[in-house]
Amino acid sequence: MRFCARFRIIFVFLFVVAVAPAPNVAFAQRVARGLVVSDSELASQAGMEILNRGGNAVDAAVATAFALSVVDQASSGLGGGGFMVIYDAKARRAHALDFRETAPAGAHRELFMKDGKPVPSASVTGALAVAVPAEVAGLMQAFKQFGTLPLAVLMAPAIRLASDGFPLDATLRYAIERQRAAMKKFPDLARVFMPKDTLPAEGDIIRQAELAQTLKAIAAQGSDVFYRGWIAEAIVETVKKEGGVLSLEDFKNYKPLWREPLVGSYRNRTVITMPPPSSGGVALLEMLNVLAPYPLSALGHNSATYLHLVAEAMKHAFADRAQYLGDPDFVKAPIATLVSKEYAAWIRGRISAAKTYPPKYYGLVNFKAEQGGTTHFSVIDRFGNAVACTQTVNTRFGSKILVPRTGIVLNNEMDDFAIHPGGNVYGLVGNEANSLQPKKRPLSSMAPTIILRGERPEIVVGAAGGPRIISATLQVILNIIDFHLLVKEAVIAPRIHHQWMPDNLIVEADIAPETRRALERRGHHVRERGVVGVAQAIVADKGRVSGEADPRKPARAAAE
């Protein structure tokens, strides 16, 4: 997509340090060469190291992603996949990289049934839950097209973190704590993350010698060693031994795809986001279009009236997600309609400020219904390039399988297909569009997004948290654009989430009691259930760049 050069502004970011980092915001690194905000301080430092060496935003993104694959295997890593939205300032072009995992060629729905009944745990834990890992192919593709520094330089911080070890932080410790029971059933996972058979303490050093060897092999030989070499062989051997259907052929056939980014507008800005197989971008644009004509700032930040309208937009967007969206290489979805201003106007005609409606009111009615370990990071460089990247192994530590010899934790992305009538681990329902088929990519909620003001990236944002990704990303954007909150306040402000089904309006703890009551009077089933996503945002405004890493991470509302 080419942006017209109406204003040929050569802009220079001054990168003034905005504020001294608050204690829980240390993950936002601020220096004169750009900014990386991830939910790991060590990963942000890895990206910053690259920016400081003269690398661009994609170089820094690749380094950050590889570092995350070491310091937070509960959320993402070489056994997972993701999506990357890139803005190339010089060419004034945006790119969307799909490195989503695919279903193995041998996968079919019956694998997840026993005696004619669905077995929900099969798509969540163990070998059948594993889709073809895509992270390495994706990062290599981004590097090949946009990287400027040698791969070995970009991967050096990750290799260092794996071989020398890193001090366990609160986030990963929390993930290990939540998975103690699973560690007992998956001894290889326990060998790395509970090496002394007990919950490690914050600050304990986690070393991953096998993972370091894997990373060194990739740095030296590129993605072939992963997809056609000993790494693929080790993964396939483990998965087969555990009863899975992943094959060497699946690895050989995996390809990351450049997709046309989804582009919309909101309050005189250009919103660039991820198209399917993520639902994140479609839902985000649909909700922004619905909300744009409302005088949101006049309604008051997080007022009941405002939150009600946001919740209604969410209900419509999530109903459409369930109805229409899936892998675009398998299903044709009316994307242009869903993200059109006309469709948004039609939806607004169905929204009442006074009440909400039961689920059947939303979306198209001929619906056949059939519950994260994710991480987002944002990068901006001194050239004005930007990267929004969200990557995942799905729920914490994915399938819980850690592959011996490689040190890689495998995803459980198969659960993102609409396999079970009662919905997936996030309670998300879907229909045929997101049915499980061999070689198909499961529908995602990841919403890496770059917002331009003119031709300049103003906001780089995204989140972790399953379907709550979409709600978190939306509200951070509204907080910045409509309510003029500083990036820190915008990320920290309490949020809500509604995914249409189940019919609950999730509110965070700091949503005021009187606001909850006012929402209940409109008919919402208000529930407080954990946090709404974990967002990382960067805002570049008038030569000043600041970022915020969400302090919600240790207690994030990921599925277990």
The token pair at 502 is: 């189940």
Contacting residue, 34, 261, 372, 457, with ligand GLY by CB under 6 A? 372
Distance CA 473, CA 464 (A): 9
Here's the x/- map for ligand GLY, 376-415, by CB under 6 A: it reads as ----------------x-x------------------x--
- The C-alpha angle 202, 31, 71, rounded to 5 degrees, equals 30
Which is nearer to ligand GLY, 273 or 394 (by Cβ)? 394
Which is nearer to ligand GLY, 413 or 548 (by Cβ)? 413
- Residue 487 burial (10 A CB sphere; 0-12, 13-18, 19+): buried
Contacting residue, 171, 435, 444, 449, with ligand GLY by CB under 6 A? 444
Which is nearer to ligand GLY, 83 or 251 (by Cβ)? 83
Which is nearer to ligand GLY, 38 or 445 (by Cβ)? 445
Residue whose tokens read 């450049």: 258
Min separation Cβ 443 and ligand GLY, Å = 8
Min separation Cβ 279 and ligand GLY, Å = 8
Which is nearer to ligand GLY, 126 or 384 (by Cβ)? 126
| AA identity, residue 361 | Y
Give yes or no for residue 416 binding ligand GLY (CB under 6 A): yes
The site for ligand GLY, by CB under 6 A, has a size of 10
Which is nearer to ligand GLY, 373 or 384 (by Cβ)? 373
Min separation Cβ 146 and ligand GLY, Å = 23
Which is nearer to ligand GLY, 235 or 470 (by Cβ)? 470
Which is nearer to ligand GLY, 154 or 246 (by Cβ)? 246
Distance CA 295, CA 355 (A): 18
374 catalytic residue (yes or no): yes
Side by side, the strands of the sheet bearing 81-88 are: 28-31, 34-37, 373-381, 386-394, 81-88, 93-99, 257-259
Looking at residues 164 to 223 of the shown chain, list those that interact with ligand GLY (rule: CB under 6 A).
none
Q: Return phi, psi of residue 216, to 5°.
A: -65, -40
Residues contacting 488, CB < 8 A, separation 6+: 19, 22, 25, 546, 548
**Active-site residue (options: 125, 305, 374, 390):** 374
The Cα-based distances of 485 to 3, 17, 26, 490 in angstroms read 28, 17, 19, 5
Min separation Cβ 302 and ligand GLY, Å = 25
Residue whose tokens read 């309510």: 483
| AA identity, residue 28 | A
Min separation Cβ 521 and ligand GLY, Å = 32
The closest residue (CB) to ligand GLY is: 444
Give yes or no for residue 466 binding ligand GLY (CB under 6 A): yes
User: Is 291:478 a contact under the CB 8 Å cutoff?
Assistant: yes
Stretch that binds ligand GLY, among 196-204, 322-330, 444-452, 480-488 (CB under 6 A): 444-452
Residue 49 Rama label (left phi>0; alpha psi -120 to 50; beta):
alpha
Stretch that binds ligand GLY, among 152-160, 199-207, 242-250, 438-446 (CB under 6 A): 438-446
Stretch that binds ligand GLY, among 157-165, 171-179, 227-235, 440-448 (CB under 6 A): 440-448
Give yes or no for residue 446 binding ligand GLY (CB under 6 A): yes
The Cα-based distances of 354 to 143, 306, 357 in angstroms read 51, 12, 10
Distance CA 102, CA 536 (A): 26
Residue whose tokens read 């820094």: 60
Contacting residue, 40, 64, 374, 385, with ligand GLY by CB under 6 A? 374
Helices (H), 206-255: 209-221, 224-227, 230-241, 248-253
Stretch that binds ligand GLY, among 249-257, 313-321, 396-404, 442-450 (CB under 6 A): 442-450
Stretch that binds ligand GLY, among 48-56, 125-133, 167-175, 443-451 (CB under 6 A): 443-451
- State whether the Cα torsion 398-98-473-30 is positive or negative: positive
Residues with active-site annotation: 374
Q: Which residues bind ligand GLY (CB under 6 A)?
A: 372, 374, 392, 394, 413, 416, 444-446, 466
